[in-house]
Amino acid sequence: MSVLDASALKQFVDADPSAPVVMLNLVRFAPGGADKYSEYIEHFSSSGIKERYGVTIVYGGAGHPSLVADAGGDWDLVALFSYPTRRHFVDMVNDPDYQAFEHLRAEAVATAVLQPTTPAL
């Protein structure tokens, strides 16, 4: 599982710190990971982190077999998280309160994609 790299976060936020961003999360769970991820989301929702950083869970859904994808392109979970600014996202992932339960996500996930997006359509 890839981890967030400090230089990548710096480049991400420096590009436009005040720009809103929606993060596309594609997750493939490790064995038993779905329960750990549910625990992570429970902490995320009840810890005050969402409110502190203005995070909105736009969508979260269970993945099903892909209709069009390269081999290995199926995901267990697809989620969209909206942040008021890029700075909010970076500050959140660096917050000790968030880091206290982020290990649940790391333990739950075998493979993931975290793709920043901005409106294009």
3-46 pLDDT tens trace:
788 899 999 999 999 999 999 999 999 999 999 999 999 999 99
Query: Could you tell me the domains of the chain?
Result: 18-64+72-117 (3.30.70.100)
Q: How confident is the model at residue 2 (pLDDT cuts 50, 70, 90)?
A: low
Predicted TM-score of the model (pTM): 0.90
User: How do beta strands 109-117 and 77-83 pair?
Assistant: unpaired
CA distance 84 to 19: 7
CA distance 2 to 50: 23
Q: How confident is the model at residue 1 (pLDDT cuts 50, 70, 90)?
A: very low
pLDDT digits (tens, 9 = 90+) for 40-83: 999 999 999 999 999 999 999 999 988 998 887 899 999 999 99
Residue 95: closest CA among 2, 14, 9? 9
Give yes or no for residue 111 having a pLDDT over 90. yes
pLDDT for residue 71? 81
